[in-house]
Amino acid sequence: MTRPLHIGLLGAMPEEIGSDLSHLRQLTSTDHGDLTLHQGVWGDGVRLTLAWSGWGKVSAARAATRLLAAAPDLDLLLFSGVAGAADAALQQWDVVLADAVIQHDMNASPLFPRFTLPPLNRDRLQPDPDWLAWASRSLNAAQEAGELKGFGTVRPGLIATGDQFISDAVVLKELKAALPDLQAVEMEGGAVAQVAQQEGVPWLVLRVISDGADEAAAQSFSDFLQVYEQQAWSLIEALLKRLSTR
């Protein structure tokens, strides 16, 4: 018999994973300073380790590192949260599954080209293709089955991460000029992906659009978050219940 899968879940804020702890059995938790790691069992035996990292790349990298250390047999590290839209076609509640992430504030030029991560000597990080295809299939199937009420379209795309809440159309335009296929901006995904990649663990980043990364972003973001908290778990569950189809 194969051993049960072990999935790591990270969000920046509790609202982003939603009322998740109530869905777990055999719940235990450990504190590491101000970070709490929760471990438990979901469904027919999937093991979960999860935490809320706080905003920004350092907090995200620290939480990812702690999570991986506490779960050496992890099969997948999934970051789920909200993001600003970087493509005019995206609306609030649309879902972007990262087919690549980039750190938009990484710039070690002239030693490395803009965006290149020195330790990896590349700018874009891509998730494992099998996990990505599975997640994409699963989310589409969940949507067809009516399990993702309230969510918009689900699409793969490039997500950019940086230590900046982007609420300025000019800043966004400059980023889009440098990264024409950019779909969404946020503050943690690229950091988690880098840690996972360097540690040799598969990762995925899933983001729901909360705002347009423009002047109205802060207000849209706050209003959105309250409603989103009720819905966030359905996105995670849509994936967890399809793990056996991988």
| Site residues (vs ligand SAH, CB under 6 A) | 12, 55, 81-84, 165-167, 185-188, 210-211, 213, 217-218, 221-222
Q: Which of helix, strand or coil describes residue 198?
A: helix
In the DSSP assignment, the letter for residue 233 is H
Place of tokens 């889009």: 176
Please tell me the number of Cα atoms within 13 Å of 166 on its side-chain side.
27
Minimum CB distance to ligand SAH smaller for 134 or for 203: 203
Residue 221 C-beta: closest distance to ligand SAH, Å:
5
User: Which residue lies nearest ligand SAH, judged by its C-beta?
Assistant: 84
Minimum CB distance to ligand SAH smaller for 217 or for 243: 217
- Report the C-alpha gap between 177 and 32 in whole angstroms: 41
- How many residues in the chain? 246
Q: Which of helix, strand or coil describes residue 72?
A: coil
Minimum CB distance to ligand SAH smaller for 96 or for 142: 96
Residue 122 C-beta: closest distance to ligand SAH, Å:
22
The phi, psi pair for 30, rounded to 5°, reads -130, 140
Q: Is the peptide bond before 4 cis (omega within 30 degrees of 0)?
A: no
Residue 56 C-beta: closest distance to ligand SAH, Å:
7
Residue 100 C-beta: closest distance to ligand SAH, Å:
17
Residue 243 C-beta: closest distance to ligand SAH, Å:
25
Q: In what helix (H) or strand (E) does residue 226 lie, and over which residues does it extend?
A: helix 217-240
Minimum CB distance to ligand SAH smaller for 15 or for 75: 15
Minimum CB distance to ligand SAH smaller for 5 or for 171: 171
